[in-house]
Amino acid sequence: MKRILLIIALFAPICSRAAKEIVPQIVPAPQSIEMTKGSLKLKGIYINCDPALDARTVKAVKVFADRLSLVSGKTSSVASPVGLAASVDKGGRLSGLYFISDTRLAPESYELSISKKYAVVRVGDYNGALYALQTLRQMLPESIYGSTPDPSAKWSIPCCEIKDSPRFGYRGILLDCCRHFFSVEQVKKVLDVMYIFKLNRLHWHLTDDQGWRVEIDKYPKLTEIGAFRNGTMVGRDWDSNDGIRHGGYYTKEQIRDIVSYAAERGITVIPEIDLPGHMLAALASYPDLGCAGSAPYEVWSRWGVSKQVLNVGKEETMRFLEDICSEVAELFPGEYFNIGGDECPRDEWKTDPDCQAKIKELGLVTDEKASAEARLQNYVTARMQKFLASRGKKIIGWDEILEGELAEGATVMSWRGTSGGIKAASMGYDVIMSPNTYCYLDYAQSADLDNEPLGITRDPKRAVTLSKLYHYEPYDDLPAAAVGRILGVQCNLWTEYIATPEHLEYMLLPRLMALSEVQWCNADNKDYERFLSCLSGHELPILELLGYNYRKLD
């Protein structure tokens, strides 16, 4: 008896490891997964779609089936409802893969029930179906993401029960295309990797001091002049200029194409027109919109923030902003529109006659809460909020919009640490947490700055490592009553020092995968060791296969 117990004890760790190995490596991890015995072969499987599913969902299932057919070497067909009988084997039992619409499931949710003979996929909506498909892909060999046949691979998925839904409804990335311009193809490549890891918002930074990137019919000079700068500062030498003309912009047709491409992947694109600061490219295009004595203007070749700002005391300037936002709003069907509001120097407003006249007209005063000029910016924010509401949009602004007074219904994006988000949520505003301390992907990925690309990080303590981002908890320090105001989490990829697609991807990956677990997984469902195992065992090979550049794990 003792000998039997000894044998069991010796083999127990091996059995335990074997049990762990059959758990599929999925990022972000599902909220609930229960493993059972066996596996379901997907090679040449029948895939059946519930007639209640919409055409977009059926199309997504067919795309999955076509790729599975290609890489496995055996056709997997999608059956119409009348073809369900084809999925019954000789014993009269069901076989195949079934996609079923289940209205009891919350938005973006799905359930998988996988047995040796068949699998049932229940989805709450289109995004839920997309995420179920991504989970199925991650349970298969990496070659499912490729376009080369791999018939010798194990084309099966382990039997299990998965119930999954996102922790947060807003799961975003900001892509800055102003400091450096990136092609349509590169933007789509970012959308592709967002899709794999279940992110659903692309915050697209389209205007800044260093370049204007969106075509506006009523103001053609914005792209004729504002989209290009005469050189860029070299490294951290603020007085240098490489003399290389840089720029570009997206036509309305290209923007519609990107918005459509994103929507197919369950991603909503949110435009940002940053105002009333960060507008030097616009001022270089239309100098009459500036404050008295501020000209001349030139699209900035430096980083940082220009002190030259729009003259918001003139009605002409406000009509300019409304005209622009009207044209941009038509391009983006989502509910949100980001108006920036950050880092707006107000010194010029103190001496500009138009701005001072507007302050007097509005009865704005300086008190212990805010200056009259800060309240002038509140006026701009409130007016743009009202105007965009008439276009069916809700505004998002950086946490500076909290200074002074903020109208009800605005959403605050907390970037200067977490305090702005905590304050806004406590005041009853919706919040997107995006603290630079955890979520700025232009920050170095290691404290060893000598072995990282030159970037904005000067202090090693400010590095945003993979571990630091992964362990960010959005609810920390929030009053219990304010928790429900947190819509989600976003990381920001600013591109002052990022000029090439390879560098862009290096800064994005694999930190985007850590972000996906912060956004998707409940706090008690995160496990950093499991996450690292998934990266090295499955996720990084996927990036390799798809041709992404990424930072190797330490």
Residues assigned a catalytic role: 208, 278, 343
What is the distance between the alpha carbons of residues 393 and 94, in angstroms, rounded to a whole number?
Answer: 47
Beta bridge partners of 426: none
Report how far residue 30's alpha carbon sits from residue 186's, in angstroms, rounded to the nearest whole number. Answer: 29
* Cα distance between residue 172 and residue 269, in whole Å: 10
Nearest to 208 by CA among 271, 165, 265: 271
Token duo for residue 548: 């992404």
Tokens encoding 294? 């501020």
Peptide bond into 28 cis (omega under 30): yes
What tokens does 172 get? 């975003």
- What are the tokens at 220? 């053609």
431/426 Cα distance (integer angstroms): 10
Q: How far is CA 433 from the centre of its chain?
A: 12
Instruction: Determine the angle formed by the axes of helices 511-520 and 501-508, rounding to 10 degrees.
Output: 40
Cβ(539)–Cβ(27) below 8 Å: yes
Residue 340 in contact with residue 277, Cβ under 8 Å?
A: yes
In the block, residue with structure tokens 């949009």: 393
Please tell me the number of Cα atoms within 13 Å of 237 on its side-chain side: 8
3-state secondary structure of 336: strand
DSSP string of 404-473? S---TT-EEEE-SSSHHHHHHHHTT-EEEE--HHHHBTTS-SSS-GGGS-S-S--SGGG---HHHHHT--
Q: Are 381 and 366 in contact (CB under 8 A)?
A: no
Cα three-residue angle 224-226-227, rounded to 5 degrees: 75
**Is there a cis peptide before residue 296, judged by omega within 30 degrees of 0?**
yes
